[in-house]
Amino acid sequence: MQVLTRQGLDPISASNASEAKETLQQERVGLVFCDRHLADGSYRDVLKAARSCREKVRLVVTSKRADWDEYLEAMRLGAFDVIASPCRPTDVEWMVIQAKRDDRTRPQELLSVAERQGSVARAAAGGTA
């Protein structure tokens, strides 16, 4: 989470898909980091909730497996990207930079689902990209 605060974001966390979906309904979220498997579902459940948001939400799937088929499936379903778990700080930074560069909308807030840490994070972007 420190890598997010260094980028001017204010992360919050949730422990499962249900909390992530609730946060997506209540907050403006631009970027989500979500483990592939969650105690009460998977990234697919969070991705479905993200698609129902008024604003564009980018979902990055984190996975312990480096599997090409898994990557293709996530991308086909609409994920923003897939990165290895545990996440390297440089990978998280790169995803935030890429989301900010996405010219359709800039992430106003960030939501991160990381069940292994028991966390969903929201962060308000500070300044301009």
Is 112 in contact with 11 (CB distance < 8 Å)? yes
* CATH architecture assignment, domain 2-116: 3-Layer(aba) Sandwich (3.40)
Please tell me the predicted confidence (pLDDT) of residue 13: 83
What is the identity of the amino acid at 28? R
Please determine, for residue 68, whether its predicted confidence score (pLDDT) is greater than 60.
yes
User: H-type helices in 7-88, by residue range?
Assistant: 17-26, 43-51, 68-76
Q: What is the pLDDT of residues 6-65, one digit of tens each?
A: 888 777 687 899 999 999 999 888 889 999 999 999 999 999 999 999 888 999 999 998
All structural domains of the chain with their residue ranges: 2-116
Average pLDDT over residues 90-105: 81
Q: How far is CA 11 from CA 53, 110, 111, 112, in A?
A: 19, 7, 7, 8
Confidence band, pLDDT 50/70/90 cuts, at residue 101: confident
